[in-house]
Amino acid sequence: MPQQHIEFDVRKIREDFPILSRQLNGEQLVYLDNAATSQTPIQVIDVISDYYKNYNSNIHRGVHSLSQEATNKYENSRQKVQSHFNAKFPHEIIFTSGTTDAINLVAHGFETILNENDEVIVSALEHHSNIVPWQMLCEKTGAVLRVIPMNEEGELVLSEYDKLLSDKTKLVFVNHISNALGTINPIERIIEKAHGVGAAILIDGAQACPHIRPDVLALDVDFYVASAHKMCGPTGVGVLYGKEKWLNTLPPYQGGGEMISEVTFEKTTYADLPHKFEAGTPHVCGVIAYGAAIDYLNGIGFENIQQHEKELLTYATEQLTAIEGLRIYGPTKNKTSVISFNINGIHPYDIGTILDKMGIAVRTGHHCAQPIMDYYKIPGTVRASFSFYNTLDEIDKLVSGVKKAKAMLS
């Protein structure tokens, strides 16, 4: 998928993000919580404002001009998402309220497919949203949940994955990139192995899509999910890519308007894809803004994003590991711009609180990945996650802040 993009200039790019000029506690904001949510450029903010100022309307059912304009822009976003992920058909793109909603949609659908003693495989690196829905699914169906273990490097033990696979395996669910550690999983191999035993596979791409442009056709993945708010878009919008054959097989997730063909008190028939899975009034503005965010990211260029973020990760890793007593968790070389760390004898929450006083925004806790923390026998970590609009100067401020926090708390 060729990309056309501007020359990368981080200082010029930062001008697109109004929030980055804000001060907190008398200090210039250093935003390093991008794995939780990315910031939004003015180009996307303007699209949101324009929607409410000029053509705010419900879609698909209206004959008036505002409705038609909103419908056209909404469906144009669907085509942008289709192109971005290289899906075969636009109706393979289902808009949801987020990654979690998309995962639950698939889990709900498989309630009618799984049988008792069928097996479902997840990995030890998953976010809670890619664990809990499958636990609930297994409780309802009698299926058995299996877990691919991890190692000290923060990598999945693929030899154990091979042993877990069997003709009982019906579903495999793995994240593309770990939100807690930044590990990039070898999903190509994981997908191929799942298909080898006839299992369907869902990849959670929430953490990958800000850094990588996935090609769902090349991956031959059955389902791929992502969130707009981690891709410079608004909250409350996500996407489910599903192969046409699977989306036609799964029953509707919710009932209501839009997802129907005909309704009588005797029987209801359902709409064709994608509307079958999009009950009710959608987040019209959010979907349109998501399309604008995808345009923005592709304008920057994912090769540029990856190169800049790699520089940030390498520099931050070198500087932080030089601090005595600091440990980085998941130090695998195959990772993206996330660093999870602790300092001996200091609770991560206390470090995060002091950094906040210096205007530095990081995340502390278990990051909705408690099994990872249990593996390392820790309550949580300090997580600094970088985006293409971050700078080496901000890394220096982070390192200086961590040193100060250590001195204050030791």
Per-residue confidence (pLDDT) for residue 3, from 0 to 100: 45
Confidence of residue 47 (pLDDT cuts 50, 70, 90): very high
Average pLDDT estimate for 198-214: 98
Average pLDDT estimate for 170-180: 97
Position 5 pLDDT exceeds 50 = no
- Residues in CB range of 158: below 8 A, 6 or more apart: 148, 186, 189, 190
Q: Which residues pair with 338 in a beta bridge?
A: 385
Distance (Å, whole) CA 311 – CA 383: 18
- Least confident residue range of 14-18, 244-248, 257-261, 353-357: 257-261
Per-residue confidence (pLDDT) for residue 404, from 0 to 100: 97
Give Rg (Cα) of the chain: 22
Per-residue confidence (pLDDT) for residue 125, from 0 to 100: 96
Average pLDDT estimate for 166-192: 97
Position 234 pLDDT exceeds 80 = yes
Confidence of residue 260 (pLDDT cuts 50, 70, 90): low
Catalytic residue positions, numbered: 368
Average pLDDT estimate for 161-170: 98
Position 371 pLDDT exceeds 50 = yes
166 exposure class (CB count in 10 Å sphere: 0-12, 13-18, 19+): exposed
CA 234, 238, 244: angle at the middle one, nearest 5? 150
Q: Are 277 and 253 in contact (CB under 8 A)?
A: yes
Confidence of residue 278 (pLDDT cuts 50, 70, 90): confident
Confidence of residue 6 (pLDDT cuts 50, 70, 90): low
Per-residue confidence (pLDDT) for residue 4, from 0 to 100: 45
Confidence of residue 1 (pLDDT cuts 50, 70, 90): very low
What pLDDT digit, counting tens, does each position of 109-145 carry? 999 999 999 999 999 999 999 899 999 999 999 999 9
Position 409 pLDDT exceeds 50 = yes
Position 162 pLDDT exceeds 80 = yes
Q: Indicate the average pLDDT of the chain.
A: 94
Distance (Å, whole) CA 84 – CA 110: 27
Per-residue confidence (pLDDT) for residue 2, from 0 to 100: 41
Q: Cα–chain-centroid distance for residue 252?
A: 23
Distance (Å, whole) CA 104 – CA 225: 11
Q: Are 374 and 297 in contact (CB under 8 A)?
A: no
Domain annotation for the chain: domains and CATH numbers: 10-41+302-409 (3.90.1150.10), 46-298 (3.40.640.10)
Here the tokens at position 167 are 């003709």
What pLDDT digit, counting tens, does each position of 307-354 carry? 999 999 999 999 999 999 999 999 999 999 999 999 999 999 999 999
Distance (Å, whole) CA 62 – CA 211: 38
Higher pLDDT, 208 or 253: 208
Position 265 pLDDT exceeds 80 = yes
